[in-house]
Structure 1
Amino acid sequence: YVIDSGFVKQRQYNPTTRMYSLDAVEISKVQANQRAGRAGRTRPGKCYRLYPLSVYGKKFLDATVPEIQRSSLAGSVLYLKSLDLQDIDILKFDFLDPPSYDALEDALKQLYLIDAIDENGSITSLGRTMAELPLEPSLSRALLEANELGCLSQALTVAAMLSAETTLIPSHSMSAEKKRKHQPSTLPNGFGLGDHIQLLQIYELWHQIDDKADWCRANNLQMRAMKLVDNVRDQLCQIMQKIAKGPMHVKISKRHEEDRNYTALRKSLFSGHTNQIAERMLHHNGYKTLGLKAQQQLVQVHPSSVLKTDEDGKYPDYVIYHELVATSRPYMRNVCTVKMHWIQPVLDKFSRLDVNKLRCNNNMIYSPSEKKKKTGIRFIYQPMDDDDKESKIRAARERYLARKNGK
């Protein structure tokens, strides 16, 4: 038997608020038929639908909303930019399932703020390297900055931990009796600097313990998720080998006082989350996200955060967050404190942001005679001819197939 409620919980991204939410939405006709098919998979069965036929016929969509229309598109847009097809207008690109203009504009803004594209929409050398990493652009940017600041090993760990979202979720297999008797966790607290530091400390502690399974059970962590983190970290190390400027093996952080600030790591994380900054309100612990006025939100630190308050009970003035989630109220998940003087250059970039320039690759090139001039250089617009376009497309397709086949 199958009982079909007619609803499904679906994770959706709102580009206007830059917030993720897990909403209960009506299923599509395709999903309804799939659920009914499960009743007869091994033998004849019945499907009980808890909704009238009129709802199925008039309210349900024919097909499920494509994932590209309910996700952040920063990674996809960065990949398009990396193809070097200079006549592509991102906002008018012919997607199979076209996302909204708001989603594409949001992606362009994100990429500009983390230096993946310049003011004219051309991909930077930094952005080209980011496009080769199998991570969301914010984490790719953080890794590259960490490589310059000498904390790549720590940043690799944090990126891997953030890739396994269920790492800190208690195991669902734990019985109610065990949960009742479970002792309070003795996990590190990140020195109160934020959740990214705690994630780093948890992995370092797990890495040096021999009996990892017992330690995970004692701290209510999922062993399978920690193994996934370990595998992801190994893969990232292999990818970063060519450009790494320092050691990538796990280094257990020292516990002496000067190491407690994790300044280099926090600055690296900040460089990848410049579109995800929040400022504490003056009289309470609520935060306001920084950025364009239309996208500013009043948010709270998630209750699970280890971010520490000062002696007056107030959180730090400025934090970065990995994502916004909407549950009973808007929350920031995985927050980390940052310094005020890091933020001013980002605010200056906001003032220069022009989506109309970001949407296309810069198709302005020097004429041969003008390259030799030292002064008075002007740009000449030279649209690509059809043969050049075809060769660019073929080259991009070959690069994609080579990456796909692991060549």
Structure 2
Amino acid sequence: MSGENNPAEPDVNLESEDCPGEDVPGFGDDLELNQFDGLPFSSRYYKLLKERKTLPVWEVRQEFEDALVNNQLVIVCGTAKTGRSTQIPQWCAEFCLSAQYQHGMVVCTQTNRQQAVDLALRVADEMDVNIGHEVGYTIPLETCCSSDTVLRYCTDDMLLREMMSDPFLEHYGAIVIDQAHERTVSTDILLGLLKDILLQRPDLRVVVLAVPPMTDKLLGHYGSVPLISLEASCPAEVVHSSSGNKDYFYSALRLVLEIHRTKEDGDAVVFFASAEEVHCAQSILQREGTRLGADLGEMVPVVLHPSQGGLLPFLTKQPGPDRSRRVFLSTQQGEDIWWATESVNFVIDTGVQKKLVYNPRIRANSEILRPISQCQADVRKQLSGPTGKCFCLYPEESQLPAENSPLILESNITPTVLFLKRIEIAGLGQCDFIDRPDPEGLMQALEELDYLAALDDDGNLSEIGIIMSEIPLEPQMAKALLASCEFDCVSEMLTIAAMLSAPSCFLKPPASMTHEAVQCHRKFQHPEGDHFTLINIYNAFKQSQREQYFSVEKWCQDYFLDHSALKTAEAIRSELTDTLNRIELPISDPSFGTKTNTLNVKRALLAGFFMQIARDVDGSGNYFILTHKHMAQVHPLSSYGAQSQKLGLPEWVVFHEYTLSENNCMRTVSEISPQVFIQMAPLYFFYNLPPSESKDILQDLLEPDGSRKCKDEKQKTAAAGGDASGGCAVMPQTYDRCVIQ
């Protein structure tokens, strides 16, 4: 690597206030060389260095470097806008360089993919190197790295996937776990596994970045390790609401308009509870903005998703014309994306968030509205800086939860258990969770993997389980894709898996164009159900790409489809295809549209999703879910929702997703026959279904008439006190596993 040619390059000039050549057009041969690529520093490097030295994190640089030399693990406590996410990984890279990278490079995890990209771009700029060379990033479906990369930003789930082939992360000499307080499932698993990896690798350095009170929890988990605290900048002026926040949504919108009428400078950011509220707020503010006087200047509402592309240049660019004001509308996931912007002068915090909490008993998510944590509230108060204002739409005395709730306690942990079972094979010890998953959720995950034939009789991964763990999908979808290899419908199942893994491809139209959008979407509807409709949409999208004279973006716009979502589905499908090729699974030719293919797609779907079956009990769309006896309806956007008046609803369906909310809707629904369900579902799953009329119907299909008659006679004889066998040959009850072995 180019940096290795200059291992002894002195670092003293980095600390000097007199930056060589800063205002000198040419200064001969006394150029300071970049220790990472051996080239002279540019004038921009010194400009950025001057800015970096003003960050709070620079006050603890020497303390951090000393701690890193003398300890395997260091915890750094600091809020957003202290510079922790940009500077500490650079100092870790210098540490690894000093050891000639003999223990590995540096990786820094992020909980958000776009945050990883934006930080990598910024840090490459600060280090005066090229993105994709010395500094790079890895996010789902995109890698920008090379053999020269010494510092890499990546999402926490991508680092976990690396452990499948490198369980002790021997490629790295330093690992920075950023945003540990977010408590994502992947970050919690990493924090648990690293405790064991550190014992196996005395040369490894781990740095954990978090905010209080998560730092106290980390100290309790890891024991006596250094804690370095960063001085936060002075918080903004904080104004609390004197009343409750029941009407938080309209209170926030009224406040935005009042701020704009004051003509005070600065952009505003509003934190709402959900994406639905964000889009609704945008529509209202756009309408109200047209009614404001021209003398107030333009108000521009901007929907901001942490996952959307190119946030860094978008946030750092200056506002538009004089007296124009951007109003950024975000959700509970967006606090840390504001590290790079200085234009925000007003923060409006509604203090609530909508979360999906998984219930293992019914294998479904519940949508819950609840307060944000004190940790989140404190971070939001820092975002507008000392000259700004933060409006909290809840009383000051409100008792907020101290920290973010660990997602591993609120999520379906079946994918987690599959992953942990996989790395056990590689010799890694038990994961020492900071907060252990609920035993009920753990048992449900093991049961589900057993139903999917992913476990052997000893509870270890079966051959099927090992293959499933290689496929970057949820276990049920991975099993369905695996089954499609047997049923010669791999091409179709790849498309279904990609479309369901990507964001929804359906754009929500303006209210005035709802009917037109429904008519456009109806052109893609397939009579067999939503899974097949998704194939129609994807195939039409690919066809529009092949027609060179046609603009794909325009085509998507005309049909109210999301171009970026379809491009994401295309990338996911390509990645899944590469995975199947790598593990040498057969990929059949597409034959979508034939009766045989339709049946085979349903068989493959049921091989993975036999636990998600429902029956229309009254012919009017009231579906009974067999696994937990809840009632649900088909989602209004389903193709069955549009066709129900003409064609009627199917009696039996398989669904992809069900959420307990106000309307309890099933999403992505397709018709199945009970005969195919009986064929594909493991019998030991079937016999564990709770009793119901629907189960009795399936039981009649499963057992021959003679067997059923014999069973009735046995029950009568037993009631009369006679021999329970009743003179009939008793059929043994078998508990065979899924036929796809």
Structure 1 residue corresponding to 2:495, chosen from 143, 148, 157: 157
> Is the 2:347–2:390 Cα contact (8 Å) retained in structure 1?
yes
Structure 2 residue corresponding to 1:304, chosen from 622, 629, 637: 637
> Is the 2:356–2:366 Cα contact (8 Å) retained in structure 1?
yes
Name the counterpart of 2:660.
326
Q: What pairs up with 1:128-207 in 2 under 5 angstroms?
A: 128-170=466-508, 184-207=519-542
SS of 2:358's equivalent? Answer: strand
Name the counterpart of 1:7.
352
Q: Deviations over 1:278-314 (max 9, x none)?
A: 12214542122123xxx33111111111138789964
Rg: which structure is higher?
A: 2
Segments of 5+ residues of structure 1 without an aligned counterpart are: 355-407
Name the counterpart of 1:362.
none
Name the counterpart of 2:585.
244
Name the counterpart of 1:374.
none
CA shift in 2, pair 1:121/1:287, >3 Å: farther
- Aligned partners of 1:310 and 1:168: how far apart in 2? 20
Structure 1 residue corresponding to 2:606, chosen from 256, 265, 270: 270
SS of 1:300's equivalent? Answer: strand
Per-residue deviation at 1:179? 6.2
Q: Deviations over 1:237-261 (max 9, x none)?
A: 111113232346xx4735xxx4486
Per-residue deviation at 1:177? 6.3
Structure 2 residue corresponding to 1:349, chosen from 684, 687, 696: 684
CA shift in 2, pair 1:11/1:19, >3 Å: same
- Aligned partners of 2:610 and 2:378: how far apart in 1? 44
Name the counterpart of 1:280.
616
Q: What pairs up with 1:2-401 in 2 under 5 angstroms?
A: 2-40=347-385, 44-55=387-398, 59-84=399-424, 94-118=432-456, 120-170=458-508, 184-209=519-544, 210=547, 211-242=551-582, 243-247=584-588, 251=590, 253-254=592-593, 258-259=594-595, 262-291=598-627, 295-307=628-640, 314-344=648-678, 346=681, 348-350=683-685
Per-residue deviation at 1:75? 0.6
Q: Deviations over 1:126-153 (max 9, x none)?
A: 1110011111011111111111111111
CA shift in 2, pair 1:183/1:54, >3 Å: closer
SS of 1:226's equivalent? Answer: helix
CA shift in 2, pair 1:135/1:202, >3 Å: same
SS of 1:307's equivalent? Answer: helix
Larger relative contact order (Cα-Cα within 8 Å, sequence gap ≥ 6): 1
- Aligned partners of 2:456 and 2:439: how far apart in 1? 20
Letter in 1 for 2:365: Y
- Aligned partners of 1:181 and 1:271: how far apart in 2? 37
> Is the 2:349–2:380 Cα contact (8 Å) retained in structure 1?
yes
> Is the 1:321–1:334 Cα contact (8 Å) retained in structure 2?
yes
> Is the 2:485–2:588 Cα contact (8 Å) retained in structure 1?
no
**Higher mean Cα deviation, 282-291 or 307-316?**
307-316
Count of aligned pairs between the two proteins: 336
Segments of 5+ residues of structure 2 without an aligned counterpart are: 1-345, 690-741
> Is the 2:592–2:598 Cα contact (8 Å) retained in structure 1?
no
- Aligned partners of 2:424 and 2:518: how far apart in 1? 56
> Is the 1:288–1:297 Cα contact (8 Å) retained in structure 2?
yes
- Aligned partners of 1:71 and 1:202: how far apart in 2? 30
Per-residue deviation at 1:46? 1.1
* RMSD after superposition: 3.0
CA shift in 2, pair 1:310/1:176, >3 Å: closer
- Aligned partners of 2:686 and 2:585: how far apart in 1? 34
CA shift in 2, pair 1:84/1:168, >3 Å: same
- Aligned partners of 1:283 and 1:238: how far apart in 2? 43
Letter in 1 for 2:396: L
Per-residue deviation at 1:208? 0.7
- Aligned partners of 1:116 and 1:277: how far apart in 2? 20
Per-residue deviation at 1:2? 1.2
SS of 2:356's equivalent? Answer: strand
Letter in 2 for 1:127: G
CA shift in 2, pair 1:353/1:94, >3 Å: farther
SS of 1:241's equivalent? Answer: helix
Q: So what's the TM-score if we normalise by structure 2? A: 0.42
SS of 1:12's equivalent? Answer: strand
- Aligned partners of 2:521 and 2:348: how far apart in 1? 42
> Is the 1:194–1:307 Cα contact (8 Å) retained in structure 2?
yes
Q: So what's the TM-score if we normalise by structure 1? A: 0.74
- Aligned partners of 2:539 and 2:591: how far apart in 1? 6
SS of 2:657's equivalent? Answer: strand
Per-residue deviation at 1:226? 0.7
Letter in 1 for 2:592: S
- Aligned partners of 2:360 and 2:556: how far apart in 1? 37
CA shift in 2, pair 1:311/1:284, >3 Å: closer
CA shift in 2, pair 1:150/1:234, >3 Å: same
Name the counterpart of 1:369.
none
Percent identity reads 29
SS of 1:53's equivalent? Answer: coil
> Is the 2:652–2:671 Cα contact (8 Å) retained in structure 1?
yes
CA shift in 2, pair 1:3/1:76, >3 Å: same
Per-residue deviation at 1:212? 1.5
Letter in 2 for 1:163: S
Per-residue deviation at 1:84? 4.1
- Aligned partners of 1:322 and 1:259: how far apart in 2? 22
